[in-house]
Chain A
Amino acid sequence: EDQVTQSPEALRLQEGESSSLNCSYTVSGLRGLFWYRQDPGKGPEFLFTLYSAGEEKEKERLKATLTKKESFLHITAPKPEDSATYLCAVQAAPGGGNKLTFGTGTQLKVEL
């Protein structure tokens, strides 16, 4: 069974204090690993897709990396508007179809 574990469960940062969120996964074969951002009362917003170990993607203050067992979401010099829950999900292959298995998320709070 595919499993995704995210840590920490919650993270409080000062503005400008860089940090990383972790996503550990167990799948029979990885077709893709996805990062989403979710604001309260809203649906998840797509951030990145990573397909193979060693791959990196960047968007503004966010950078996602992937190894064979885990992914990191690095947040550089965060701002209060980066406060949200960050979700990691995996798509398995073969036979996983387009189904995503989600972790429980990391709730990030960035304070002034």
Chain B
Amino acid sequence: GAVVSQHPSRVICKSGTSVKIECRSLDFQATTMFWYRQFPKKSLMLMATSNEGSKATYEQGVEKDKFLINHASLTLSTLTVTSAHPEDSSFYICSARDSRANQPQHFGDGTRLSIL
């Protein structure tokens, strides 16, 4: 089945640090990838849609200069949390959708980000 790999699975770092998270589709090509944030016992909140070869589309209220997204190839998207602060601590999950028609989004296993 479709596999999405997300790395790292857990990051603990100091306030002010920038953190990069990678999302790879291992066995399919994805022109579109998605970045979500999930709070405890809450649903997934879409942050942005990552489009291969073009700028990401951010949801309302998400700072694009804070959460930098790059989608340089059909199998890799990265999310960089710049100058992270404790309020950025969360569970970040990526998903990728096979470029062929009528395919669902497949999710990575998430990154637990803790900012001290």
Q: What residues of chain A have their CB less than 8 Å away from a CB belonging to chain B?
A: 32, 34, 36, 41-46, 49, 87, 97-105
Contact = CB atoms under 8 A, between A and B. Distances in A.
A42 B44 CA distance: 12
Interface of B: 2, 4, 6, 32, 34, 41-44, 46, 49, 93, 95, 97, 102, 104-110, 112
Nearest to B32: A98
Contact of A43 (B2, B49, B104, B107): B107
B110 A98 contact: no
Given A100-B44, A102-B43, A104-B43, 7 more contacts: A32-B104, A46-B106, A49-B102, A49-B104, A98-B49, A99-B46, A101-B46
B94 to A, nearest CB: 8
B110 A41 contact: yes
The dominant DSSP class at the B interface is: strand
The 3 closest A-B pairs by CB, nearest first: A43-B107, A102-B43, A104-B43
B104 A105 contact: no
Contacts of B95: 43
13 contacts: A34-B105, A36-B107, A43-B4, A43-B93, A43-B107, A44-B93, A46-B106, A98-B97, A98-B105, A100-B34, A100-B46, A104-B43, A105-B43
